[in-house]
Structure 1
Amino acid sequence: MFDPTAYENIKVVIEGDIYDRDLSGEIIVIDRNDWINTAKLSRKYEISFTKRGYEPNLLSAMMTIEAGLENLSAELLESVDAKQLAGCKVNISFSLFHKNDMDVFKEIQKVLENIWGRDRAIMQTAVMNPLENKSRIQTHAKVSFNRLVFEEQIDDLSEMIDYMIASLEKLKKLLSE
């Protein structure tokens, strides 16, 4: 038997915490993807959810964890220098439909900065068909932490789920205005 890597341990904890919240009725899991890239020896896990009562195609949150070959080898080789790479990347993102208005983009940014902090990289990407003159567009807002997450920080990831839910609630309120 082998010792699971940080990626596997973090994935199991995240998945369990999110599905526990789904079973309790707090959220609804709407998608899950689990990839292994054998060409690059990397792994990626995504799980998406929304709040119960929200329209999933209008507002949702997603947590992504990723580990590459350098992360896996750092754990397997167990050298002192490699320990700093023995973790995984975690990203949080939100997908929402809203009025195509610059003020809405600014408000989304403000909501996410207030919850996640100004030291986080928050990138918004608008998705639209330029040939259609629609008043509503889709935005993907990604919160990046620009560092690896290690097994010792697993409890912080549960707290991140709380922040994701709070973000959904604040974004829903913003979109309702």
Structure 2
Amino acid sequence: MNVKRIAVAGLVAAGVVASGTVLASPASADTTSYLPGSGNWPVLRQGQTSENVRALQWFLSCEGYDQPAPSHFGPKTRANVHAFQQRYLTSQDGNVGAHTWRALLTTHTAPVGYGQRNNCVKGLQVLLNKWRYSDDLPISGYHGPRTKKKLIRFQSGHGLPATGTVDLRTYQKLTYTPAGK
């Protein structure tokens, strides 16, 4: 009996490898908030409203998934997340957890460095505005002196290298740390 199971499992695995298909199991749903090497991330689902959702919408827009950014995770946002996941991940549940955050923030084509102007910078500005510091940034999409100054202030206040350059660790802190902390 065990020989039959092993043979069937081997044939299924060979078929998956040969076809290039990756099967996503229910356990692959992106509802995990922790990834080794990249820390804790918020889990976002349809129906939620927050600044993290608004930033997510700008990052998706930057990646080519056009949509308004009303800060509400509605059907359009879920459809765009699902489309992004189909392209980059095996998990395709429309939720945004650690796997989707990491893929989204390490694959976008538009840079968010100093002097850049794009929707990815708008996402960064939304996240930086969670920390009021009495100087809210306009959501202009321009990474100029004010954005850089606020980014350095955030990094130095949260134990990160204060480089003024956004990286995955900075994004992780911006999204996961509750505002005001």
**Do the two structures share a fold, i.e. TM-score over 0.5?**
no
CA radius of gyration, larger in: 2
State TM-score, norm by structure 2: 0.29
State TM-score, norm by structure 1: 0.30
Identify the structure with the greater helix proportion. Answer: 2
